A and B are shown apart, each in its own frame.
Chain A
């Protein structure tokens, strides 16, 4: 390893540097030009766009930078695109929401960008310390964002709950990391993999793996570590909820895959069992709890818990195909989940909170375009063709069956059948309960229509033309180190 940093190291973290610079610029602009929220939005979007362009131009690379601490590979690029896309859509859907709630946009946009920065480090970190710093950059930004509506008791409560359980899970995760460090003498993932290879794992290693698994389980909201998710999703500002359920989940999955597939293949048999059990419990509990919800945000919170269960199947499979299927599912999930939340964000108007299912009554009459968009998002979340969600599920379930986990796939299919009930209930409220339609049509501003359009575009196009996503997901999965060392079990 070279002794210091070279120019190449700075070149490879150019996307992160751009994002940091842009975030600081937004913060300064908000002080220098008060009441110019439109300008701030443009600056924030330009930052994300520039970062995205550099990330895409780095997509073909497969190198390590900063003395082996960061991987600049296809896997990192895939997740960075997912994260930046969700940040951009969140920014777009936030701008009308912030006006309605009377929130100062400067700090808010800054925190959205900071969270994206943390997520980018989570997807490219190759060292436990780097990954943990990325995780905390994201988490601390989200603690503040969840409580951004200071006079609102629900937002306060969401922030306190998220903070307490997030800090608790951090303690658990770090304790696991310290045990892994003690057992292997390094925090670098490839060093850990090399130190653990061969010999049967000691008790300390197993304990470390379980604790790290539990800590990550909190972050992806897997049952039984999901208690914070419904409350935080319900109480946080709606665009923040959207960002939390997509960006934070995707980045946590990236970190999970980095740690377990690149760092701990030697104990693969043990953690496969762990994640198998987590996947089954998570999707089942998530779907069953979602059935009885009357609050839309809370229902989508349980639905996103169920989706974490589906995504865990890809980790259980653990092969190149399994990870690729998981990436496809995540790529699809970004559009359908953010789209659904964009519609809920729109339903918040100056005098209407608009988070209950009954607020959807007669939406097909009042705002047919929005209702049609929501229909597509719901069908996609439920996995009905010809939407993108169907393609994601086909691939994920297919990879699971091919790897020999027949029962896991059967449980997942049964779960998606159950989930149709509550997704279609949303459609029923929009179309059938027309007589007591409340209030006026929804107003769609320019920013919101772009967000909705992009989400709808992704949901529809990846449903009929998924090859593009498949190819990139496969390339991303292939670029992971150690992915080949996990064979079919």
Chain B
């Protein structure tokens, strides 16, 4: 049986983070982009918990609690902003965000 070590978790975290970054870059629906960002934040959480286990100190776990709380606050504000955007534009597609261009 393969033993799961903290290194495995950091690899998982790196993979999840990369999926999140790619999602932000390629998806066109704002909600899905937002979900990809949440994926990135959760990759951070996995990393922090894995390191906290490996280092045997609790700082990482404390950090995770803060990241989760902030992510929740951001989600609330972000969805509110998105709703205001949707009311005016009737769309949540990133390509439709074109009032301002340089």
Q: Are B100 and A234 in contact (CB under 8 A)?
A: yes
Q: Are B84 and A187 in contact (CB under 8 A)?
A: no
- Consensus secondary structure, chain B interface: helix
Q: Are B100 and A175 in contact (CB under 8 A)?
A: no
Q: Are A157 and B99 in contact (CB under 8 A)?
A: yes
One of A75-83, A159-167, A252-260, A421-429 at the interface: A159-167
Given contacts A129-B66, A159-B84, A231-B100, contact A140 B37 (CB under 8 A): no
Chain B residue nearest in CB terms to A289: B102
CA distance A289 to B81 in the complex (A): 29
Chain A residue nearest in CB terms to B86: A156
Within 8 A of A (CB), among B5-46: 10, 13, 17, 20-21, 24, 30, 33-34, 37, 40-41, 43-44
A404 within 8 A of B: no
CA distance A156 to B84 in the complex (A): 7
CA distance A168 to B41 in the complex (A): 9
Q: Are B78 and A163 in contact (CB under 8 A)?
A: yes
A489 within 8 A of B: no
Contacts of B66 in A (CB 8 A): 129, 132-133
Residues 32-65 of chain B: 1 if any A CB is under 8 Å from the residue's CB, otherwise 0? 0110010011011001101100110101101100
A171 within 8 A of B: yes
Chain A residue nearest in CB terms to B66: A129
Contacts of A171 in B (CB 8 A): 17, 20-21, 37, 40-41, 43-44
Contacts of B57 in A (CB 8 A): 185-186
Scoring B34, B66, B84 by chain A CB atoms within 10 A of each residue's CB, the highest score goes to B84
Chain A residue nearest in CB terms to B96: A157
Within 8 A of B (CB), among A123-168: 128-129, 132-133, 136, 140, 143-144, 147, 150-151, 153-154, 156-161, 163-164, 167-168
Scoring A144, A153, A298 by chain B CB atoms within 10 A of each residue's CB, the highest score goes to A153
Given contacts A136-B73, A163-B77, A167-B74, contact A186 B59 (CB under 8 A): yes
Chain B residue nearest in CB terms to A173: B44
Within 8 A of B (CB), among A170-184: 170-172, 174-175, 177-179, 181-182
A130 to chain B, nearest CB (A): 10
Chain B residue nearest in CB terms to A235: B100
CA distance A158 to B84 in the complex (A): 12
CA distance A150 to B62 in the complex (A): 36
Given contacts A160-B30, A181-B51, contact A168 B43 (CB under 8 A): no
**Pairs A–B under 8 Å by Cβ, sample size 7:** A133-B70, A144-B81, A150-B87, A163-B77, A182-B54, A187-B63, A289-B102
Q: List 17 additional A-B contacts (Cβ < 8 Å) besides A171-B37, A185-B57, A187-B59.
A: A132-B70, A136-B70, A140-B74, A140-B77, A147-B81, A150-B84, A153-B89, A158-B100, A163-B78, A167-B34, A171-B17, A171-B40, A175-B47, A181-B48, A181-B63, A185-B59, A186-B59
Residues on B close to A: CB < 8 A? 10, 13, 17, 20-21, 24, 30, 33-34, 37, 40-41, 43-44, 47-48, 50-51, 54-55, 57, 59-60, 62-63, 66-67, 70, 73-74, 77-78, 80-82, 84-85, 87-89, 97, 99-100, 102
